[in-house]
Structure 1
């Protein structure tokens, strides 16, 4: 093998590694593939139709999307009171009200419209019964990376827009 031939083989191999770093062909994951997994609630903001901000308490929570098209979502106020009785079936009226107004949880199925980056959810059960079967439940993904998911809930039952940020659970 002469030097020119060896140099040509080296150059071809180098260009192949640079141009095709992942087994020869890099593929972009679909939005649905990127969503799959559990995401931990990081932050959120709410606005009314007129653009004014809505005060919100601090929350903790998560959303999980499965490959089979199922999801669950939960947020709980970070300052939720502990029950003085220690019995989850016996809260005081004030404790019960604080918990009921500070928790939102729901589960169901979802589909993804890749072209509009929209997650369409069908809520089957919820801590807020008004969400069950409500039409046109959608979440618009505004940004997604391996580590962060941002989406907008463009119109809640209360008539506000939510912008939520999640970090991928590790």
Structure 2
């Protein structure tokens, strides 16, 4: 083999590896693969069917998607009152109402429709029992980067549309 030809092949291979480190020339990750992990709640906005905004409490929380198709979602009010009794089994009626109305938690399975960028969730357990087994639970991904996830819940049981923003947990 001619030395110049061999040197040309080596240079071409070296340039290809240098230009495309970590196989970045390979096919992009699927939406499901990009979702896998834990995402920390950042913010949300809510809008009624008539277009009017709904006031949102200060929240903290997270959503986790596993490779096996399971998910866990929780948000809690960050300004929830502490129980005066100090006993989690003995809140006052007011404390219990503030906590119950300020927590949304659910878990179950999910699938992803790559073509519509939609997460379909099957809720198996929830702090709001009306969500368990509710049909057509979907979350439409509106933006997804390595560090941020945004999705819309197009219609909650209360008839509002939620836009949620999460940052990837580190």
TM-score normalised by the shorter chain: which range applies? over 0.9
Coordinate RMSD, CA, aligned: 1.8
Which residue in 2 is equivalent to 1:153?
Answer: 153
Which residue in 1 is equivalent to 2:99?
Answer: 99
Which residue in 2 is equivalent to 1:86?
Answer: 86
Greater mean alpha carbon deviation, residues 2-11 or residues 146-155: 2-11
Which residue in 1 is equivalent to 2:67?
Answer: 67
Q: What SS does structure 2 have at the residue aligned with 1:143?
A: strand
Which residue in 1 is equivalent to 2:8?
Answer: 8
CA deviation digits over 1:62-118, x for unaligned, max 9? 000111111110000010011000111100000000001100000011000010000
Which residue in 2 is equivalent to 1:27?
Answer: 27
Moved over 2 A (4+): 1-11, 17-27
**TM-score, scaled relative to structure 2:** 0.93
- Cα distance in 2 for residues equivalent to 1:123 and 1:7: 60
Structure 1 position 2, deviation (Å): 8.2
**TM-score, scaled relative to structure 1:** 0.93
Structure 1 position 134, deviation (Å): 0.6
- Cα distance in 2 for residues equivalent to 1:117 and 1:23: 24
Q: What SS does structure 1 have at the residue aligned with 2:21?
A: coil
Specify every segment of 5 or more residues in structure 2 that has no aligned partner in the other structure, as ranges.
none
Which residue in 2 is equivalent to 1:133?
Answer: 133
1:20 and 1:26 in contact (8 A); partners too: no
Which residue in 1 is equivalent to 2:113?
Answer: 113
Specify every segment of 5 or more residues in structure 1 that has no aligned partner in the other structure, as ranges.
none
Q: What SS does structure 1 have at the residue aligned with 2:22?
A: coil
Structure 1 position 49, deviation (Å): 1.1
Q: What SS does structure 1 have at the residue aligned with 2:151?
A: strand
- Cα distance in 2 for residues equivalent to 1:65 and 1:24: 24
